[in-house]
Amino acid sequence: MAERYVRVRMNHPVIITMMILAIIAFMYFAAEVLRPLALALLLSLVLAPVVAWLERRGLPRVLAVVLTVLLTLGSLGGVGFVVIQQLGQLANDLTENRSEIERKISDVVDKGQPSTLGKLEDMAADVSRSIMEGGGEADEGEVEEVSLAESPEPPGVVGPTRSGPFAPTGPGDTESTVYQVEVVDRPTIQDRFSTAVGPLMEPAAIFSVVLVLTAFMLITRDDLFGRIIQVIGVGHISLTTRTFSEAAERISKYLTTFSSFNALCGVFLGTGLWLIGVPYAVLWGFLVFVLRFIPYVGPWTAFVLPLGYSIVFSEGWRDPILVAVLFITFEAFSEYVLEPILYGRTTGITAVGLLISAMFWTWLWGAPGLLLSTPLTVCLAVLGKYVPGLRFFATMLGEDVVLERNAQFYQRLLARDSDGALEVVEEALDEGLPIEQAFDDILIPALSRAEGDLARGVIEEGDQSFVWHVTRTILDELDTRSSEGPEAGKARPGSAGEFKVVGVASSDAADAMVLRMVALALRPSGVSIEIVTSSSTPLEASEQVAQGEAEIVLLSHLPPVGLTSARYLVKRLKALFPDVPIWAGRWGGSGGEKARTRLTGMGADRVVFSVAEVTSNLPEALKLAQGGKARPRKAGASR
């Protein structure tokens, strides 16, 4: 009991919320430690396939890891050295050409009519100047004019004087100017080194820590995985192994492909800029590689930077136009051709999920969090598909449809969105879903949900009435389409068109609507159904069955309520018409074998659970029933 009590308390929403806030606070205050750790983890997942490839070639793991890390260090170091050089040169160019940049910007801004904001600013300046001039006017005679000739020095201003041994002693002795002298020490070699290298020390230290962590994660990955299994529990070793192996493989494959593709984008666009003649092509290519990790905003930022440089420093518009054509063409080709081939249509994350995650990681870890937002979000979404405790991330971030069609249909009905509910059904039919399958998968589950929610008091009768109204409207529309279709009135060869089925609704209008669905699904087979509504009493229903000369009686019962009345009606009909096969429809499959046993115990010859089952079996059963039962007879009637 104590264990159960603790488990329930831990699942309380307040406790879960506090735990989430505590985790976020920990990640915020421990950012200096967690940022390198997260970067090392992602880098190890990216480099893991390379290490595995070298191991398959016979190299020991340690040697494979060392070679991979050194290759990565050399590549990043070489590119970083060139990028830093070009970044310094770009800063010098911007400083030296400041006046030219200001002139071009002023030319662009000053062209054309002044903007609305400029007009408002000019008007505000004029009003302020008028107020100041009006307030500064004085009455005539109140201000005394002072002649500069009569007063060579303004009143209250005393000329420079000196005292002491340096005071002037005669008319020929003039004052000497006093200069302020500041002694400046010449910078030493250590000072110059500190100024040049100091700002780079912290990034270099972080980069070194990341590389060391990555190397040890790659070397000891089996040991780390064993420790995770030990934490989770040896009893779940099979599930844990399968889950983490598949998740790590998918994440590693995606990150490797994503990083490689971004690098290729940087190389291609940098080469294109170099061929166009835009300076600092290596810098722009590196920015393309880095900024493409930022969702949506990053690729266009990487496009705007070289475009702006070419507009400012190039003569004419040739280079800017070529840069725009290069980036726009490549981005379109990348989005619609390359990305679907390499790693699917998208990252598997919704656009809103990517943007929210980018905002969250940026707030949490700053600029590194922004760059890591997409890989970290993809990792959480993939883990959510395999780890039950993290399924929340897959549900909130995943691009897959969260709600099934029947849940979408029912949700829109409860929202009184009849057009949206109709769209769900139309989309399913347009995708090629058979009409009987659409009934079983969408309409019948929604009707059943409404029955259950009303019985539990979750919804009101008005909500159920709206569900029924929209369902009738959909059935009317489908009935009209079926009647006006090219196959209307044409029965299939060998159909059972000359036979009749009497459908009896056991409880309410929902049971009768399911019978309408069965009739629509059976129409191409030439089978007609006469529906006895639920408003009839059992005696009236039996009389209508007798008058209808039914070959088969189909009783409609929609769970979860009304099983008792359905059983009574089956028993009544079987007692009155022992020679007529009675099928009981327990729509939706609720109850399974238990419901089948209870209904067959009351006299049902067959229990069906779906419209598709009726459609596939009823025409054949009618043919078999053709043998000598021309009319149903009540028990005890004369023969």
3-state secondary structure of 553: strand
Cβ neighbors of 382 (< 8 A, separation 6 or more) are 247, 250, 251, 254, 348, 394
308: pLDDT strictly greater than 50: yes
pLDDT at 466: 92
Q: Are 327 and 285 in contact (CB under 8 A)?
A: no
pLDDT band at residue 352 under the 50/70/90 scheme: confident
Average pLDDT over residues 241-246: 72
Q: For the chain, give the percent of residues with pLDDT over 90.
A: 5
Q: Are 272 and 285 in contact (CB under 8 A)?
A: no
**Does 93 or 3 have the greater pLDDT score?**
93
> 333: which 2 tokens?
């080709």
* 3-state SS string for 436-463: HHHHHHHHHHHHHHHHHHHHHCCCCHHH
Average pLDDT over residues 120-129: 68
Return the half-sphere exposure (C-beta side, CA atoms, 13 A cut-off) of residue 389.
Answer: 6
Distance CA 249, CA 247 (A): 5
Cβ neighbors of 359 (< 8 A, separation 6 or more) are none
- Smallest CA-to-CA distance from 326 within 278, 260, 263, 262 is with 278
**Does 93 or 583 have the greater pLDDT score?**
583
Count CB-CB contacts under 10 A for residue 520.
21
Q: Are 501 and 622 in contact (CB under 8 A)?
A: yes
398: pLDDT strictly greater than 80: no
Distances (CA, A) of 223 to 44, 220, 268, 318, 636: 15, 5, 40, 58, 82
pLDDT at 636: 47
pLDDT at 104: 66
Count CB-CB contacts under 10 A for residue 253.
14
> 483: which 2 tokens?
């009647």
pLDDT at 402: 63
Per residue in 23-77, pLDDT (tens digit) is 889 988 988 888 888 888 888 888 888 888 898 888 898 999 999 988 888 887 8
pLDDT at 232: 66
175: pLDDT strictly greater than 60: no
pLDDT band at residue 493 under the 50/70/90 scheme: very low
- Smallest CA-to-CA distance from 439 within 602, 610, 232 is with 610
Radius of gyration of the chain, Cα coordinates, nearest whole angstrom:
41
461: pLDDT strictly greater than 60: yes
Range with the poorest average pLDDT among 140-154, 198-212, 401-415, 490-504: 140-154
Long-range contacts, stretch 165-168, CB < 8 angstroms, 24+ apart? none
534: pLDDT strictly greater than 80: no
604: pLDDT strictly greater than 60: yes
Distance CA 88, CA 352 (A): 37
pLDDT band at residue 473 under the 50/70/90 scheme: very high
Distance CA 353, CA 347 (A): 11
Computed over every residue of the chain, the mean pLDDT equals: 76
> 482: which 2 tokens?
């079926």
Average pLDDT over residues 321-342: 83
pLDDT at 178: 65
pLDDT at 142: 46
Beta bridge pairs of residue 117: none
Q: Are 44 and 211 in contact (CB under 8 A)?
A: no
pLDDT band at residue 148 under the 50/70/90 scheme: very low
Distance CA 27, CA 35 (A): 9
Set out the domains of the chain in order of their start, with CATH numbers: 2-78+207-219 (no CATH), 245-397 (no CATH), 403-485 (1.10.1240.10), 496-639 (3.40.50.2300)
246: pLDDT strictly greater than 80: no
- Can you give the pTM of this predicted structure? 0.59
Distance CA 108, CA 312 (A): 11
